[in-house]
C-alpha cells in the first residue's frame, strides 16, 4: 500500500507540474489501435480531416440516445459537411458480441460516417469516456476543443454551432 502511495505522489506531482502549463496546451488524440469496417488497423492518433474540424462520437448499438443522435445528424450531415467541411467519426464501443452487426446496421441506416470499432474499449478509456453518447470536437490541428455527453433533440444544433465558431476563429467557451 505504501508503495502505491509513493507511486501516486510521483504521478500526482508530475500531474500538478504539468497542469499549470496545460491551458494553452490542448489535448490531442491518444495513440490507440482500433479497427475500421474494412478490417484495417487504425492508429487513432492519426485520425484527421485535412485541417478541418472533426467530430468524434462514441456510441453503441444498445444505446438508444446514441442511435438517435447519429440518425438525427445523418439527416443534416450533407449540409454540415458542405457548409463547414466537418467530418464525423463514429466510434462503436460494442464488444465481440455485436461488432459484426455494426457494418450491416450502419449501412442499413445509410450513415455516411467513418466508423471505427473499439471492441475492448481501449480508445474509450484513453479518452476518459464514462457514459455514452460522448462527443468530442477537434479543431483543424487535431486538438480537442470541446466535449459533450448525452443527447437530446436539438443538441446537434449546439454541436454545429461550435463547429461554425471554430471555422470563424471564435473562442470555444
Partner 1 sequence: MRRLYTLVCTFILITTGTLTAQDLLQGRVSGNFQLDAQLYQADSAIGAEDVSEAMLMNSFANINYTQGNFIAGLRFESYLNPIKGYDQRYKGTGVPFWYASWQKESFGITVGHFYEQFGSGMTLRSYEERNLGYDNAIKGARFIFRPYKGIAIKGLIGTQRFFWESGPGIVRGLDGEFAINDLLNILSTDLPRFTLGGSFVSKYEPSAKILVNSDQILILPENVAAISTRLNIHHKGFAIDGEYAHKYNDPSAINNFIYKEGRSLLLQASYSQKGFGMLLSGKVTDNMSFKSKRTERGSMLDINYLPALTRQHAYTLAAMYPYATQPNGEIALQGQVNYKISKGTLLGGKYGTDIAINFSNVTSINRDSINNETPIGKTGTLGYKTNYFDFGDELYFRDFNIEIQHKFNNEFKALVSWINMHYNIDIIEGHPGEEAVKANIFIADVTYKFSSKNALKAEVQHLATKQDEGNWMQAMAEFTFSPRWFFTLMNQYNYGNDDKDRRFHYPTVAVGYTQDSNRLSLSYGKQREGIICVGGVCRNVPASNGLSITLSSNF
Name residues contacting partner 1, limited to 130-169 (CB under 8 A).
Answer: 130-134, 146-155, 157-158
d(CA 58, CA 133): 6
100 near partner 1 (CB under 8 A): yes
Strand partners of residue 9: none
On whether the CB atoms of residues 34 and 91 are closer than 8 A, the answer is yes
d(CA 23, CA 168): 21
41 near partner 1 (CB under 8 A): yes
Closest approach of partner 1 to the CB of residue 167, in Å: 20
Q: Which of 91, 106, 117, 163 binds partner 1 (CB under 8 A)?
A: 106
Locate 3 and state its grid cell.
508503495
78 near partner 1 (CB under 8 A): no
108 near partner 1 (CB under 8 A): yes
Stretch near partner 1 under the rule CB under 8 A, chosen from 20-28, 47-55, 79-87, 163-171: 20-28
C-alpha triplet 81, 159, 122: angle, nearest 5°: 90
Amino acid at each position: 500500500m505504501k508503495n502505491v502511495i509513493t507511486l501516486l505522489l510521483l504521478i500526482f506531482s508530475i500531474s500538478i507540474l504539468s497542469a499549470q502549463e496545460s491551458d494553452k496546451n490542448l489535448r490531442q488524440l491518444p495513440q490507440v489501435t482500433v479497427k475500421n469496417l474494412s478490417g484495417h488497423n487504425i492508429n487513432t492518433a492519426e485520425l484527421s480531416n485535412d485541417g478541418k474540424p472533426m467530430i468524434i462520437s462514441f456510441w453503441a448499438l444498445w444505446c438508444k440516445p446514441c442511435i438517435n443522435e447519429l440518425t438525427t445528424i445523418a439527416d443534416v450531415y450533407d449540409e454540415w459537411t458542405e457548409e463547414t467541411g466537418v467530418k464525423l467519426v463514429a466510434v462503436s464501443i460494442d464488444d465481440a458480441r455485436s461488432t459484426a452487426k455494426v457494418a450491416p446496421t450502419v449501412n442499413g441506416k445509410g450513415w455516411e460516417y467513418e466508423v471505427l470499432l473499439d471492441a475492448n474499449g481501449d480508445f474509450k478509456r484513453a479518452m476518459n469516456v464514462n457514459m455514452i453518447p460522448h462527443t468530442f470536437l477537434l479543431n483543424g490541428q487535431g486538438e480537442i476543443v470541446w466535449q459533450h455527453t448525452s443527447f437530446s433533440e436539438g443538441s446537434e444544433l449546439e454541436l454545429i454551432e461550435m463547429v461554425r465558431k471554430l471555422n470563424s476563429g471564435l473562442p470555444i467557451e
